[in-house]
Amino acid sequence: MAIFGEFSELPFPEVLNMMGRRCGQLHIQQHGRQYRLHIDNDQLLAIFCDHQLIKEPQQVRDTILHLSRSQDGRFEFHKDSPNTLRHHYEFSITRLLLGASTVIDEISHYRDRLPSPDTRFVLLDAAHQTLEPELQRFIARTEVQLLLGASANDLARSLGCNPGQVQLMLYKLRTSGLIAPLRAQPTTAAPAPAVPAARTAGGLVARLLGALGGRRKGQRGAAT
C-alpha cells in the first residue's frame, strides 16, 4: 500500500526521516520534475531526477537541500524488497538531512549579509589557502567560472542548485579574502557633437552685423 501526501502538509525532511527507516522508493513530483529516491534502513542508495541518476556526492547533497527548502510538490512512497532497489552508494539519510538543515539555518542567519545573486565575483587566490572541505569542494567545481567572473545566479544554473546556497558560499569566500566583486564599469554620456568653429564664428558675425545695421538705420531716422 502506497503512502502519499503533499509537502505543504508534511515537509520533505519529515517525510524522508520517516520513510528512511523503511525499505522502498520515494517518488516526488515538484515543479514539473520527478525525483525517485531508493532508500533502505536510513541509507540513501540512489536518487534519480527525471530518470537520470545523480552520481556526484555534492549533487546528491544539493538535491536533498533543494528538496528540503521547498514547500511545494507531492510524494508517494512504495515499499519494496532490498533486491529490487538500485544500489549506487550509501549515504546516511540522517546526516544528509542534518547537513541540509545546517545550510538552511546559515542562510537564514546571514541573509542580510549575503551578496546580491546578480553580483559577479572573481577568484583572487585559493591555491595556498587552507579551507574547510565544503568550500574546497565549491571552489573545485566553480574555479573556471570564478576566474572569469560569475554571479550566484550564474553558478546556481551551472551547478543545478539553489542560488541561496551559492550566495552563502560566496559570502564565506569573500570574508576569507579569496574573491572580490567585479565593479561595474561607469558609463559616460556621449559627447555632444562639436559645432565647426567657422560656422559658429560666422553665425555670431552675422548677428552682430545685423544688430549694427539696425542701430544705424535707427540713428538716421532720428537725425531726419
pLDDT in tens, 125-157: 755 567 888 888 899 899 999 999 999 999 999
Out of 107, 129, 159, pick the residue that ends a domain. Answer: 107
Give 224's pLDDT tier (boundaries 50, 70, 90).
very low
Asked whether residue 57 carries a pLDDT value surpassing 80, the answer given is yes
Is 13 in the same domain as 85?
yes
Q: Which three cell numbers stand for residue 17?
A: 526521516
Assess if residue 63 is contained within a domain: yes
Cα–Cα distances (Å) from 182 to 110, 119, 120, 141, 196, in that order, read 21, 8, 6, 20, 41
Give 94's pLDDT tier (boundaries 50, 70, 90).
very high
Is 87 in the same domain as 152?
no
Give 34's pLDDT tier (boundaries 50, 70, 90).
very high
Is 16 in the same domain as 81?
yes
Assess if residue 190 is contained within a domain: no
Lowest mean pLDDT among 48-62, 137-151, 181-195: 181-195
Phi, psi of 221 (to 5 degrees): -65, -35
Q: How many domains does the chain have?
A: 2
Assess if residue 87 is contained within a domain: yes
Is 52 in the same domain as 128?
no
- What CATH number has the domain bearing residue 167? 1.10.10
Angle between helices 163-175 and 57-69 (to 10 degrees): 120
Out of 66, 87, 107, pick the residue that ends a domain. Answer: 107
Assess if residue 202 is contained within a domain: no
pLDDT in tens, 208-219: 455 555 555 554
| Predicted pLDDT at 167 | 94
Maximum C-alpha span of the chain: 125
Is 127 in the same domain as 173?
yes
Out of 107, 131, 146, pick the residue that ends a domain. Answer: 107
Is 97 in the same domain as 120?
no
What's this model's pTM, rounded to 2 decimal places?
Answer: 0.69
Average pLDDT, the chain: 83
| Predicted pLDDT at 215 | 52
Assess if residue 209 is contained within a domain: no
Alpha-helical (H) ranges within the chain are: 12-19, 57-69, 93-109, 133-148, 152-159, 163-175, 197-223
Residue 171's domain comprises 113-181
Is 72 in the same domain as 162?
no
d(CA 162, CA 154): 11
Assess if residue 127 is contained within a domain: yes
Assess if residue 98 is contained within a domain: yes
Is 11 in the same domain as 90?
yes
Asked whether residue 43 carries a pLDDT value surpassing 80, the answer given is yes
Is 27 in the same domain as 103?
yes
**Is 25 in a helix, a strand, or coil?**
strand
Cα–Cα distances (Å) from 101 to 19, 66, 67, 83, 94, in that order, read 18, 11, 11, 31, 11
Is 152 in the same domain as 91?
no
